[in-house]
């Protein structure tokens, strides 16, 4: 049986849940506690980074921010649970700061260019708390006019709660949705006619679940421009949206309860459409097959 080699490009703004996902993924495949659709075939030689982040994950301690310039790339040798297919999957644990810089400066490093060129799939992480739901202008036009008048007309007090002077705009202040869309566009353009599967991971799904939406409807509601872009390119760039709670819950309030799990892999919650499981390898399989 041949082994398929796959490079996954991992992207997402700072604190989007990238490292936590990789930590939970490594715990799942290396512990073999649950019947995940992808399982570890054999151990790769380089495991220090994976073991370090997976240890923190098991102990319910938040992983450290990934520092730009100190990112690590990890490789896992996996096979499907029926043993029919083998994959060697490489994915970089990238720093969200790096993507923030790419958005602001409109350029990326040669090393990142190489990564984009090599990648067969993109996993783009979106933290639910990073997106502010869009508001239709026609619903708030009167309020906007009164705010604008209050700021601009000399001698008129701004409405309470409004700053006396408009804040100077700079690229770093752009809405998260604009940044995500722009980064997606940059990568899709750079791939040209070469194939790229796109997985959108709404991370910390435990924080989004109370809306009772399926992950793709969640993106459609909270990031309509991103949703439009993905659908416009669907034929050449197939995409899938997963809601993934790699921790299970937030550590601040629930660490003790999470530590009680006999099989820590079962803390994880993954949603695709209306199907729920604790199999964090499902989005990876979708990306690589």
Ligand X SMILES: Nc1nc2c(ncn2[C@@H]2O[C@H](COP(=O)(O)OP(=O)(O)OP(=O)(O)O)[C@@H](O)[C@H]2O)c(=O)[nH]1
- Residues at the site binding Mg ion, with contacts judged by CB under 5 A: 18-19, 66
Least distance CB 177 / Mg ion (angstroms): 21
Q: Which does 261 bind (CB under 5 to 8 A by kind): Mg ion, ligand X, none?
A: none
Q: Please, which residue, 28 or 95, has the CB nearer to Mg ion?
A: 95
List contacts with ligand X (CB under 6 A): 12, 14-20, 62-63, 65-66, 95-96, 125, 203-204, 206-207, 245-247, 249-251
d(CA 272, CA 282): 9
What beta strand segments (E) does 119-268 contain?
A: 121-126, 197-202, 239-245
Q: Which does 265 bind (CB under 5 to 8 A by kind): ligand X, Mg ion, none?
A: none
Q: Which does 250 bind (CB under 5 to 8 A by kind): Mg ion, ligand X, none?
A: ligand X
d(CA 37, CA 218): 25
With b meaning 16 or more CB within 10 Å and e meaning fewer, what string describes 2-33?
eeeebbbbbbbbbbbbbbbbbbbbbbbbbeeb
Residue number with the smallest Cβ distance to ligand X: 96
C-alpha separations of 143 from 139, 146, 219 in Å: 9, 5, 27
Q: Please, which residue, 63 or 122, has the CB nearer to ligand X?
A: 63
Contacting residues for 117 by C-beta, under 8 A, at least 6 apart: 190
Least distance CB 20 / Mg ion (angstroms): 8
Q: Please, which residue, 72 or 85, has the CB nearer to ligand X?
A: 72
Q: Which does 203 bind (CB under 5 to 8 A by kind): ligand X, Mg ion, none?
A: ligand X
Q: Please, which residue, 94 or 119, has the CB nearer to Mg ion?
A: 94
Q: Which does 216 bind (CB under 5 to 8 A by kind): Mg ion, ligand X, none?
A: none
Q: Please, which residue, 41 or 209, has the CB nearer to ligand X?
A: 209
The three-state secondary structure class of 62 is coil
- Which of 246, 244, 252, 180 minimizes the C-alpha distance to 208? 244
What beta strand segments (E) does the chain contain?
A: 3-12, 38-42, 72-80, 86-93, 121-126, 197-202, 239-245, 269-272, 275-277
Q: Please, which residue, 92 or 215, has the CB nearer to Mg ion?
A: 92
Least distance CB 212 / ligand X (angstroms): 18
């Amino acid at each position: 049986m041949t082994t398929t080699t796959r490079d996954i490009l991992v992207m997402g703004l700072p604190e989007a849940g990238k490292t936590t996902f990789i930590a939970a993924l490594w715990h799942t495949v290396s512990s073999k506690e649950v019947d995940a659709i992808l399982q570890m075939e054999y151990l790769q030689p380089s495991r220090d980074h994976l073991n370090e982040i997976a240890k923190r994950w098991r102990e319910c301690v938040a992983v450290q921010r990934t520092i730009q310039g100190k990112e690590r790339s990890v490789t896992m040798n996996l096979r499907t649970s029926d043993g029919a297919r083998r994959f060697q999957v490489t994915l970089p644990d990238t720093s969200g700061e790096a993507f923030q810089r790419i958005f602001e400066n409109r350029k990326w490093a040669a090393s990142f260019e190489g990564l984009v060129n090599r990648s067969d799939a993109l996993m783009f992480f979106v933290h639910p708390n990073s997106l502010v739901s869009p508001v239709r202008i026609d619903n708030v036009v009167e309020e906007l006019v009164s705010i604008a008048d209050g700021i601009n007309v000399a001698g008129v007090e701004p409405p309470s709660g409004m700053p006396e002077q408009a804040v100077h705009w700079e690229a770093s202040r752009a809405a998260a949705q604009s940044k995500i869309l722009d980064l997606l566009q940059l990568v899709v353009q750079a791939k040209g006619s070469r194939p790229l599967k796109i997985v959108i991971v709404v991370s910390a799904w435990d924080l989004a679940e109370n809306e009772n939406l399926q992950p793709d409807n969640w993106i459609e509601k909270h990031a309509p421009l991103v949703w439009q872009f993905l659908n416009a390119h669907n034929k050449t760039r197939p995409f899938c949206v997963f809601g993934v709670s790699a921790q299970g819950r937030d550590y601040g309030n629930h660490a003790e309860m999470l530590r009680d799990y006999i099989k820590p892999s079962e803390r994880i919650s993954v949603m695709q459409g209306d199907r729920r499981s604790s199999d964090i390898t499902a989005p990876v399989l979708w990306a690589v097959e």
